[in-house]
Amino acid sequence: MTKKQWLKRFKKKLSALPRGEQEAAVEYYTELFNERIDRGESETEIINTFGSPEQAAVAIACEKNEYSKIAYQSSGGLTAGRFFAVTLLFVFVGIPVLVVIFVLGVTAVALLVSAFAMIAAGAAQALYFLIVQLIYGFSAGFLAQIGIGVAAAGLGFLLVPLFLRCLKWIFKGCAKMFTSSTRLICEKRRA
């Protein structure tokens, strides 16, 4: 195991603690790693003295009376009260969040599809009136229609990157929303 892998597993095991606590603990161990590396110790030697990341995390959490939060990851069992609270949270928070995420996702995809549809429609209109003009001869009206078609297709091309960015934002937002609501429900489950 490398230093990076050790710290990654350590942080993962501390995930039940508040973010600030996790970062402080990771900074502490990172500093100790660096100090010992500076003094010529290998990562393997250091890890041998630190023990497993799980042991280190449990030791820290034990001292902070947070043991139950970490130990819970490998244990189970819900009391009736907690089950009721978790169910309520799922019904009133989980389901609405899932619905919002689904709607936002559909909206994001629809936006992107609409940009492509605009390109296709604009190109089709321009092509159609180009053919009409070739068949029936030049007309200012046909030329204007071709212009409108080209403009619509051009606008569609401009909208694609914008909508792609929107799609990314929306998906990121959905992921955050999902993570926070899951954390809320899981914390209640552990409490």
Partner 1 sequence: MDAQLKKGLLDVCVLSVLREGESYGYKIITDIAPYIAISESTLYPILKRLESTGAVTTQSREFNGRLRKYYRITEKGRERIREFTEDVKEFERIYRFICLGEEK
Q: Which is nearer to partner 1, 60 or 159 (CB)?
A: 60
- How many angstroms separate the CA atoms of 132 and 54, rounded? 74
Of 8, 50, 132, 160, which one interacts with partner 1 (CB under 8 A)?
Answer: 50
With tokens 């501390």, the residue in question is 14
Rule CB under 8 A: is residue 24 a binding residue for partner 1? yes
- How many angstroms separate the CA atoms of 190 and 177, rounded? 20
Q: What number of CA atoms fall less than 13 Å from residue 180's CA on the CB side?
A: 8
Show the binding pattern over residues 62-101: x = contacts partner 1 (CB under 8 A), - = does not. Answer: -xx-------------------------------------
- How many angstroms separate the CA atoms of 119 and 101, rounded? 28
Rule CB under 8 A: is residue 6 a binding residue for partner 1? no
Residues forming the site for partner 1 (CB under 8 A): 24-25, 27-29, 31-32, 34-36, 38, 49-51, 55-56, 59-60, 63-64
